[in-house]
Amino acid sequence: MAKFSGTRAHVYLAMLPVWIIVLVALVSSTVWTFVISLTNSKLLPVYKFNFFHQYELLLKQPAWQVAVSNLIVFGVLFIAICLVFGFVMAIMMDQRIRGEAFFRTVFLYPYAMSFVVTGLVWQWVLNPGFGIQAAVRGLGFENFTFDWIVQPDRAIYILVLAAVWQGSGLVMAILLAGLRGVDEDLWKATRIDGIAKWRVYTSIVLPIIAPMAATATVLLAVSVVKAYDLVVALTGGGPGNATEVPAKFVMENLFARQNVALANAGAIMMLVAVIAILVPMYYARRYMAQKAEV
Partner 1 sequence: MRMSSEKTLARTGVYAFLVISAAFFLMPFYVMVVTSLKTMDEIRVTSIFALPDTPTLQAWVTAWQSACTGLNCNGLSVGFFNSVMIMVPATVFSILLGAVTGYALSFWRPKGTGLIFGILLVAAFIPYQVFIYPLVRMLSQVGLYNSLAGIVAIHVIFGMPIMVLLFRNYYAGLPRDLFSAARVDGGGFWVIFIRLILPLSPPILIVAVILQSTHIWNDFLFGLVFAGSDNQPMTVLLNNIVNSTQGEKAYNVNMAATILTAAVPLIIYLASGRWFVRGIAAGAVKG
Partner 2 sequence: MKTLSLAFATTAMAALTTGAATAQSAEVIHWWTSAAESAGVGVIADAYGDTGGEWVDQAVAGSDAAKTSAISRMVGGNPPDAAQFNLGADIDNLVDSAVLAPIDAVAEANDWASVMPQAVLDAVTRDGHVYGVPIQLQGTNFLFASADALDKVGAGMPQTWDEFFETGDKLREAGIVPFAQAGDRDVWFMNTFQAVLASVLGTEEWGQFTGPDGAEFVRSEAFRPVAEIMAKLPSYADSGVSGRQWNITNQMILNGEAGFFIMGGWAIGEIGAAGLTPGKEVLCGVGPNHAPLVVAGDVWAMPAKGDGLTEAQAKLAEVTTSVEVQAEFTSTMGSLPVRSGVDTSKFNACAAAGAKAISDGNSVMALFINFSPEKLGALGSELKVLWVDPDATADDYVETVAGILENY
Binding site for partner 2 (CB under 8 A): 42-46, 63, 120, 123, 127-129, 147, 149-150, 152, 155, 234-242, 244, 252-253, 255-259
Interaction of residue 293 with partner 1, rule CB under 8 A: no
Interaction of residue 210 with partner 1, rule CB under 8 A: yes
Q: Which does 133 bind (CB under 5 to 8 A by kind): partner 2, partner 1, none?
A: none
Interaction of residue 192 with partner 1, rule CB under 8 A: no
Nearest to 264 by CA among 253, 274, 272: 253
Say how many residues touch partner 1, by CB under 8 A.
Answer: 101
Q: Which does 83 bind (CB under 5 to 8 A by kind): partner 2, partner 1, none?
A: none
Binding mask 11-30 for partner 1 (x = CB under 8 A): xx-xx-xxx-xx-xxxxxxx
Q: Which of 165, 204, 238, 239 binds partner 1 (CB under 8 A)?
A: 165
Site residues for partner 1, window 82-101 (CB under 8 A)? 88-89, 92-95, 97, 100-101
Q: Which does 51 bind (CB under 5 to 8 A by kind): partner 1, partner 2, none?
A: none
Site residues for partner 1, window 102-161 (CB under 8 A)? 103-114, 116-118, 120-122, 124-125, 130-131, 134-135, 138
Which stretch, 73-81, 148-156, 236-244, 256-264, contacts partner 1 (CB under 8 A)? 256-264
